[in-house]
């Protein structure tokens, strides 16, 4: 009798083990099966989300047929199935296991925003406000709040943000992105200032930043930036006015409608470099690295003038006579 009982117990244990192995294999297969998804989408885990509700939502979205295996996997592996708050990307290559791994490890989706060289702070703020993945704050609509949160000692932070592509998690505050861009610009400017050419007509890194913004607005050709810089540096050294249209346009603000008139050029504003000496009071845009480098290491030249050729490049001249000839040729269509 004892032997028969022992044999029954052994058979039962063997059966249970076999069933366990089969169940584990089925669960493994279910967890490693590709999700039912055709195109990439985002899933957000809210604070306090439970596995019960999450698994139910996957079924509702038809990403999985049922939630039986997911819930059992979570019971057996609580440490590997913890739901961390955030937004996660789901692709056609994902399995239920890879999705759970992303969420439990907090590998949130990294959205991106790109700020282009030569754009202004006003344009940046609009771009931030229009991005649904970024949380808006008072810093994006009130300049004094932005300046305070960044810890700046100036009223106008134009130019103090490095244009680039920034990755962020969904729900990041706009001011956090601006802080990153500001820190990047501060470090970049300080580094490049230490590597500047000797005897430049700038007293501070900020003046170099102003010059870099003008260079950035004057040409889209990186190959020309050092030569453009040489023109402005040469003019500053000779006490000549910069006479650059982008500063006039910036000073006009909303009044600029696509054309600079003679009245605009005669109007004495802080940014009208046809009427003021030296640099304008602030940068007029966000300069990129190449423009900053150009401002601090201009080409060695005798050029004092340049005019657009109409194809994105410029004709450079050493004398006013040469410049007037270039204007006649490229601007007035006269040889």
Q: Kindly state whether residues 182 and 245 are assigned to the same domain.
A: no
Q: Kindly state whether residues 236 and 315 are assigned to the same domain.
A: yes
Percent of the chain past pLDDT 90, that is, above it, reads 61
Q: Decide if 24 is inside a domain.
A: no
Q: What is the reported pLDDT for 128?
A: 94
Pairwise pLDDT comparison (148 vs 281), residue with the higher score: 281
Pairwise pLDDT comparison (185 vs 36), residue with the higher score: 185
Q: Decide if 26 is inside a domain.
A: no
- Provide the number of structural domains found in the chain: 3
Mean pLDDT score, 74-102 = 89
Element (H, E) at 206: helix 205-218
Report yes or no: 58 and 64 within 8 Å, Cβ to Cβ: yes
Whether the predicted pLDDT of 221 surpasses 80: yes
Helix (H), strand (E) counts: the chain: 13, 8
How many residues belong to the chain? 335
Q: Kindly state whether residues 81 and 121 are assigned to the same domain.
A: no
What distance in Å separates the CA atoms of residue 202 and residue 205, rounded to the nearest whole number?
A: 7
Q: Kindly state whether residues 216 and 324 are assigned to the same domain.
A: yes
Kindly indicate the confidence band of residue 310, based on its pLDDT and cuts at 50, 70 and 90: confident
Q: Kindly state whether residues 220 and 314 are assigned to the same domain.
A: yes
Q: Kindly state whether residues 232 and 288 are assigned to the same domain.
A: yes
Q: Kindly state whether residues 203 and 323 are assigned to the same domain.
A: yes
Q: Please measure the distance between the N-terminal and C-terminal CA atoms of the chain and give it in whole angstroms.
A: 119
Beta strands 172-173; 134-135: pairing state: parallel
Q: What is the reported pLDDT for 149?
A: 83
Q: Kindly state whether residues 102 and 119 are assigned to the same domain.
A: no
Q: Kindly state whether residues 167 and 95 are assigned to the same domain.
A: no
Mean pLDDT score, 146-161 = 86
Q: Decide if 13 is inside a domain.
A: no
Per-residue pLDDT reduced to its tens digit, 311-327: 889 999 999 999 999 99
Q: Residue 40: which residues within 8 A CB-CB, separation 6 or more?
A: 89, 90, 91, 92
Domain boundary residue among 59, 80, 108? 108
Structural domain span for residue 90: 44-108
Residue 314: what are its φ and ψ, rounded to 5°? -130, 155
Kindly indicate the confidence band of residue 16, based on its pLDDT and cuts at 50, 70 and 90: low
Identify the weakest region by mean pLDDT among 23-27, 41-45, 68-72, 227-231.
Answer: 23-27
Q: Kindly state whether residues 279 and 245 are assigned to the same domain.
A: yes
Q: What is the mean pLDDT of the chain?
A: 89
- Reference 181, options 140, 132, 130; nearest CA is 140
Whether the predicted pLDDT of 238 surpasses 80: yes
Percent of the chain past pLDDT 70, that is, above it, reads 91
Q: What is the reported pLDDT for 41?
A: 92
Q: What is the reported pLDDT for 75?
A: 87
The pTM for the full model equals 0.84
């Amino acid at each position: 009798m004892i032997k028969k009982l022992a044999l029954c117990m052994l058979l039962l244990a063997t059966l249970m083990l076999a069933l366990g192995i089969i169940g584990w294999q089925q669960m493994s297969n279910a967890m490693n099966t590709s999700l039912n998804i055709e195109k990439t989408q985002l899933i957000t885990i809210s604070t306090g989300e439970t596995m019960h509700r999450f698994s139910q939502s996957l079924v509702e979205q038809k990403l999985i047929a049922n939630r039986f295996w997911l819930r059992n996997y979570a019971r057996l592996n609580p440490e590997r199935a913890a739901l961390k708050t955030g937004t996660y990307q789901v692709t056609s290559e994902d399995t239920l296991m890879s999705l759970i791994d992303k969420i439990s490890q907090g590998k949130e989706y990294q959205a991106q925003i790109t700020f282009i060289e030569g754009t202004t702070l006003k344009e940046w703020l609009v771009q931030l406000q229009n991005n649904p993945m970024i949380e808006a704050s008072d810093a994006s609509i009130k300049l004094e709040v932005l300046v305070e949160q960044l810890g700046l000692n100036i009223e106008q932070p134009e130019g103090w943000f490095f244009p680039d592509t920034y990755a962020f998690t969904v729900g990041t505050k706009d001011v956090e992105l601006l802080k990153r861009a500001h820190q990047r610009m501060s470090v970049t400017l300080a580094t490049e200032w230490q590597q500047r050419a000797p005897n430049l007509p700038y007293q501070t890194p900020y003046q170099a930043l102003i010059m870099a913004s003008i260079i950035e607005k004057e040409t889209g050709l990186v190959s020309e930036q050092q030569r453009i810089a040489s023109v402005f540096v040469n003019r500053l050294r000779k006490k000549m006015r910069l006479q650059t249209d982008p500063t006039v346009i910036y000073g006009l603000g909303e009044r600029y409608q696509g054309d600079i008139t003679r009245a605009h050029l005669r109007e004495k504003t802080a940014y009208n470099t046809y009427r003021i000496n030296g640099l304008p009071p602030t940068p007029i845009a966000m300069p990129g690295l190449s423009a900053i480098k150009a401002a601090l290491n201009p080409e060695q030249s005798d050029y004092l003038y340049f005019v657009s050729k109409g194809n994105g490049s410029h004709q450079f001249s050493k004398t006013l006579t040469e410049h007037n000839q270039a204007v006649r040729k490229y601007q007035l269509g006269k040889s």
